[in-house]
Amino acid sequence: MVEAGKLLPKAYNLLALVKRLREALSASPPNRVRAAGLARAVPAARADIRGEDAASMTDADATAIRSDCIAGAALTDSDISTPDGLAIAQRAVTACATAQLAVKVQSIRGDVESLASVPNPGPRLLASHAFKEACRDQLIAAGSEAVQSLATLSVKTKGRRDELTKLIGEANSKIRREAYLIAGERARLIDDYIRAEVDRIKRDGVDIGEDFPYDYVRKSREYNEFSESSHKMARDKIQPMIDEAKKNASGLESELQSINAPAVAEAQALISRLMDAPSVSREEATAWAESQEITKTAINRLKSEKYPVDKLRADMADFYRITNGRIGRVVISSTGKSRASADQIHGAAVATIDIGSGFDKRVLWHELAHHLESDHVLLAAGKGFIEGRSKGVARLSSLAPRASYGPKEKAHADGFFDPYVGKIYDDATEVFSMGVESLSSPDLLVKRIAADPEHFALVAGMVTTPTSDGLARYRRIREELAGLTSDVASQQKSAIDAAKEFLAGRAVMTRDDDAAAKLFKSADYFSLLAIGRPKNEQEMIDAYVGSISGMLLFKAAALISRNAAGRMNRKTKGFVIFAGPDRVESVFIYGTDIDLPKAIMQALAVRENVDGLTPGGWMFSTRKYIDNGQLEKLLTTYSSGEKNVE
């Protein structure tokens, strides 16, 4: 039986799918491709509400995971050099990652944690140069033939294309500087005129009174007339140069387009072949894209970026298709950051993409491709690619001086088509993200494949290699764990809310203004800062709310918090609870709901009466902020009269 609280978001998802299906059918002409994808997604959404066909880890899954982990533990680096040994290692790496998630699933479900003791050769294999290089070489071999024709064609014309691109850039730079060139020429003409007039005044002995020569010239009618006409004179002189630059740029661009045409056509053909190579149909890809969540904040951000939601979903479907359906559920969100990012690539949480400035198909594919590396075999191949070619580690800002990279961003230095490809992370790379984004545009692909054909052989190998049963199992168990984790968080919130209501309803608050005034002198700097820096005892009393069992509650006007983009904010409102007038330890509570601090104080009061533990225990002495786990334990334990909260 599905709880009512879990049905609501699923019902909203179903309603949204049905609404989009009706819109697709009522369009003029009807969008039948999109409607077909939506129609395929609707039954799954209905089944999700009824609880049918729910993804759930089985005993067979556990058996397969255990078997693959044990087989991988017996491997040596020399075993990995054989095709059979590499296949065992790849299954083991995926199985070990799956086992870590599966243990959490078993723990939450209350099952026997049968996978907790299985061997875990995953970290050893992922750290093995032999394994990383073998995964890399396997994909490059699988994709080399697919990209060979385009790579040959693109490399052949690379020299002239680079030369033309440089000349076009210089011409366009001159064109963009037209206004500055005219202004500079006008300033030169005026300066020459003034100098000539000053020389004439000195030569003819003109009486200029007390004025300086330059000021005398600028006051003349002749100067004003010359100044007015100088703009046209300057423009007449500069315009032929600009016209010539435009003519040159147009001719160069026509030549570049002509040279590029065969390669661009071949690039488009390659993209089409890669799109058709995987086993995912257009209808399946559309259904996947239509079923992914796009938050309200993301929809608003997409409007400002002029990227329609329908276009984004179509681009997501193309990505899903060209990458052979290698990623699972993903949420498109926006936290206001200027730089897009892919989050939760690994682990239990749902994969997300945070929209940034300039978000378009290219950036979307880049961020989606980061989630391909949730497949640890692809992660190993990416690391093998950059590490195997590394000529040392350097700051990205030194490898790409014109880009705005931070001082902590480092990369392997080599002849990648962009230095960013070599950026170093603990559990990710930029290999597939930069490679797959290049497939979003044939022009971009032509430019980049000439600089590094091997990179695109690796990407093509990934596209044309079927996904494994182990990866499908990993994705399924990860999604189950994400759902269970969400349920646990929902249950935790419900428990906290119920306990809060119970305890706050029983709290009796009194006032002790003298105790509040006393804290003005004895409270620590950070607590006073949070309250809002009261200047005297009266302002401290004004912020005072009341007391429960000797503990004092104050309104806080300037708690420190960070938004989703990581920016600090000192204006967050909340409360500060002091342990007592003579015990100045304090804890900060976010939010304006006064029932929460009242419930905490009441729970601590009960705790002292029941267990003989004073409020100065774990809560006040170890942290300024209380986390949800401690909050749930405190409130739920003492709302039910139980003991032993430590």
Please say if the pLDDT value at position 645 is more than 60. no
pLDDT digits (tens, 9 = 90+) for 260-277: 899 999 999 999 999 987
Give the CA-trace dihedral at 158, 162, 164, 167, to 10 degrees.
-170
Q: Average per-residue pLDDT in the chain?
A: 86
Please say if the pLDDT value at position 77 is more than 80. yes
> Angle at Cα 156 formed by Cα 153 and Cα 162, nearest 5°?
110
Lowest mean pLDDT among 5-19, 163-177, 266-280, 314-328: 5-19
Confidence of residue 40 (pLDDT cuts 50, 70, 90): low
The upper half-sphere exposure of residue 365, i.e. CA atoms within 13 Å in the direction of its Cβ, equals 22
Q: Give the span between the Cα atoms of 390 and 413, in whole angstroms.
A: 6
What burial class does residue 435 get, using C-beta atoms within 10 Å of its C-beta: 0-12 exposed, 13-18 middle, 19+ buried? Answer: buried
Q: Give the span between the Cα atoms of 645 and 633, in whole angstroms.
A: 7
What burial class does residue 156 get, using C-beta atoms within 10 Å of its C-beta: 0-12 exposed, 13-18 middle, 19+ buried? Answer: middle
Q: Give the span between the Cα atoms of 553 and 230, in whole angstroms.
A: 73
Q: Give the span between the Cα atoms of 528 and 77, in whole angstroms.
A: 60
Please say if the pLDDT value at position 88 is more than 50. yes
The predicted structure's pLDDT at residue 546: 96
Residue 351 and residue 330 in contact, taking contact as beta carbons nearer than 8 Å: yes
Greatest mean pLDDT range, 203-212, 361-370, 395-404, 599-608: 361-370
The predicted structure's pLDDT at residue 92: 97
Pairing of strands 551-562, 568-578: antiparallel
Summarize the chain as % helix, strand, coil (round to 5).
65, 10, 25
Which of 258, 259, 240, 256 lies closest to 174 in space, CA to CA?
Answer: 240
Q: Give the span between the Cα atoms of 462 and 372, in whole angstroms.
A: 10
Confidence of residue 54 (pLDDT cuts 50, 70, 90): very low
Which of 343, 341, 340, 282 lies closest to 314 in space, CA to CA?
Answer: 282
Which whole number is the average pLDDT over 637-646? 51
DSSP reduced 3-state for 551: strand
The predicted structure's pLDDT at residue 646: 36
Lowest mean pLDDT among 72-76, 242-246, 423-427: 242-246
Q: Give the span between the Cα atoms of 642 and 455, in whole angstroms.
A: 61
Q: Give the span between the Cα atoms of 623 and 585, in whole angstroms.
A: 9
pLDDT digits (tens, 9 = 90+) for 289-306: 999 999 999 999 999 999
> What sign does the dihedral 28-34-37-43 (CA atoms) show?
negative
Top-confidence residue, 624 or 602: 602
The predicted structure's pLDDT at residue 1: 34
Which whole number is the average pLDDT over 11-23? 65
The predicted structure's pLDDT at residue 207: 78
Residue 288 and residue 324 in contact, taking contact as beta carbons nearer than 8 Å: no
The predicted structure's pLDDT at residue 246: 87
Give the CA-trace dihedral at 149, 153, 154, 160, to 10 degrees.
170
Please say if the pLDDT value at position 573 is more than 80. yes
Tally: H helices and E strands in the chain: 27, 10
Please say if the pLDDT value at position 441 is more than 90. yes
Please say if the pLDDT value at position 444 is more than 60. yes
Residue reference for tokens 């050769």 = 121
Strand order in the sheet with 293-294: 293-294, 330-333, 351-354, 341-343
Token digits for 361? Answer: 């198909």
Please say if the pLDDT value at position 307 is more than 70. yes
The predicted structure's pLDDT at residue 81: 92
Q: Give the span between the Cα atoms of 586 and 214, in whole angstroms.
A: 71
The predicted structure's pLDDT at residue 122: 94
- Residues 314-330 as b/e (b if ≥16 CB within 10 A, e otherwise) read bbbbbbbbbbbbbbbbb
Please say if the pLDDT value at position 111 is more than 90. no
Pairing of strands 293-294, 330-333: parallel
Which whole number is the average pLDDT over 30-37? 62
Q: Give the span between the Cα atoms of 20 and 431, in whole angstroms.
A: 35
- Judged by phi (left if over 0) then psi (alpha if -120 to 50, else beta), residue 560 lies in beta
Token digits for 358? Answer: 């300039």
Q: Residue 219: what are its φ and ψ, rounded to 5°?
A: -85, -10
Fill in the DSSP letter of residue 185.
H
pLDDT digits (tens, 9 = 90+) for 312-335: 999 999 999 999 999 999 999 998
Q: Which residues are within 8 A (CB) of 423 and not within 5 positions of it... i.e. 6 or more apart?
A: 396, 409, 410, 411, 429, 430
DSSP reduced 3-state for 1: coil
The upper half-sphere exposure of residue 396, i.e. CA atoms within 13 Å in the direction of its Cβ, equals 19
- pLDDT cut 90: percent of the chain above it: 50
End-to-end CA distance of the chain: 35
Fill in the DSSP letter of residue 553.
E
Lowest mean pLDDT among 226-235, 361-370, 486-495: 486-495
Which whole number is the average pLDDT over 447-467? 94
Q: Residue 454: what are its φ and ψ, rounded to 5°?
A: -65, -35
HEC string for 448-511: HHHHCHHHHHHHHHHHHCCCCHHHHHHHHHHHHHHHHHHHHHHHHHHHHHHHHHHHHHHCCCEC
Q: Give the span between the Cα atoms of 57 and 481, in whole angstroms.
A: 10
pLDDT digits (tens, 9 = 90+) for 612-640: 555 544 445 444 666 666 777 778 777 66
Q: Which residues are within 8 A (CB) of 158 and not within 5 positions of it... i.e. 6 or more apart?
A: 450, 451
- pLDDT cut 70: percent of the chain above it: 86
Q: Which residues are within 8 A (CB) of 273 and not within 5 positions of it... i.e. 6 or more apart?
A: 146
pLDDT digits (tens, 9 = 90+) for 514-566: 999 999 988 888 889 889 899 999 999 999 999 998 999 999 988 876 655 55
Amino acid at site 113: E
Fill in the DSSP letter of residue 645.
-
CA 464 to chain centroid, in Å, comes to 27
Please say if the pLDDT value at position 454 is more than 80. yes
Which whole number is the average pLDDT over 338-355? 92
Residue 99 and residue 65 in contact, taking contact as beta carbons nearer than 8 Å: yes
Q: Give the span between the Cα atoms of 291 and 1, in whole angstroms.
A: 23
Please say if the pLDDT value at position 183 is more than 80. yes
Q: Give the span between the Cα atoms of 496 and 361, in whole angstroms.
A: 42
Longest CA–CA span in the chain (Å) reads 109
- Residues 268-303 as b/e (b if ≥16 CB within 10 A, e otherwise) read bebbeebbebbebeebbbbbbbbbbbbeebbeebbe
Q: Which residues are within 8 A (CB) of 6 and not within 5 positions of it... i.e. 6 or more apart?
A: 487, 490
